């Protein structure tokens, strides 16, 4: 990932190079990267690998959530509101809420990485 200092350097270099009409876009990018000492491979590749890991984690969590939801539906489909929830049902609800929270956190992190 690029540091804030490198990002500011890149933006300054791009502003300078924007005025030069004779150079192509790829040349301008190469010059800006070399001036700011930023490796071309490090830009984006780190984000892409992190995004892939987050997506894999999200898929696993969704699968777990679906399985637990099926179990809850199977075990506790006949609700009697006159009786309180059993301890097992409460624990299952807590697990489902934790997994749902983790799914939301991974979605938020993925969104932040995609914006970069």
CA gap 61, 59 in Å, rounded:
5
3-state secondary structure of 20: coil
**Domain range summary for the chain, segments of one domain joined by +:** 4-35, 43-115
Average pLDDT over residues 4-18: 72
Choose among 50, 31, 38, 29: nearest CA to 5.
38
Q: What is the mean pLDDT of the segment spanning 13-31?
A: 66
Largest Cα separation within the chain, whole Å, is 79
In this prediction, residue 63 carries a pLDDT of 92
The token duo for 26 is 């790829």
Which pTM value belongs to this model? Answer: 0.57
Q: What is the mean pLDDT of residues 51-73?
A: 90
Query: What is the pLDDT, as a whole number, of residue 41?
Result: 47
Range of 11-15, 20-24, 38-42, 81-85 with top mean pLDDT: 81-85
């Amino acid at each position: 990932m690029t540091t804030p200092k490198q990002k500011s350097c890149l933006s300054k270099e791009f502003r300078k190079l924007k005025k030069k009409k004779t150079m192509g876009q790829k040349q301008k990018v190469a010059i800006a990267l070399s001036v700011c000492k930023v490796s071309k491979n490090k830009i984006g590749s780190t984000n892409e690998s992190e995004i892939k890991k987050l997506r894999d984690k999200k898929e696993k969590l969704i699968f777990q959530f679906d399985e637990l939801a099926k179990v809850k539906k199977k075990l506790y489909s006949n609700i009697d509101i006159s009786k309180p929830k059993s301890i097992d049902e409460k624990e299952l609800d807590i697990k489902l809420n934790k997994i749902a929270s983790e799914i939301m956190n991974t979605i938020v992190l993925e969104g932040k990485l995609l914006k970069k």
